[in-house]
Amino acid sequence: MILEICQNKTTGFCRVTHILDKGTLHTRSQAKTRILNELFESVFSKGDDPTNIPTLEGDQYPDKPRLSIDMHVTHKVLTYLKVKKAPSPDGLPN
């Protein structure tokens, strides 16, 4: 299966323009939807037993080292933040 994806330069959204599947080129939305649904169904099989989850070895909640926060170091780091810069995905300025 080969997918061709096109990105709209204005909106940034992507779409599947056509799919080559088993020698046939599909351009209609219904056909592309059916093929992609079959692909996802094959990956996320309905035959899996959700109650058969393996148990992990070892302690479920291992001991963590004690966290120590130094007020002076924290203050120094925060003073170097560029507050007029746009925030990164975590919400903090770069």
Cβ–Cβ < 8 Å for 37, 29: no
Q: What is the pLDDT of residue 11?
A: 75
- pTM, whole model, 2 decimals? 0.43
Residues 6+ apart with CB under 8 A from 32: 16, 18, 19, 26
Which is more confident, 30 or 3? Answer: 30
Strand-by-strand arrangement of the 24-26 sheet: 2-7, 14-21, 24-26
DSSP letter assigned to residue 5: E
Tell me the pLDDT of the chain averaged across its residues. Answer: 80
Average pLDDT over every residue of 15-40? 87
Phi and psi, residue 32, nearest 5°: -65, -40
Residue 19: how many other CB atoms lie within 10 Å? 19
Cβ–Cβ < 8 Å for 92, 85: no
Which is more confident, 67 or 94? Answer: 67
Q: What is the pLDDT of residue 46?
A: 65
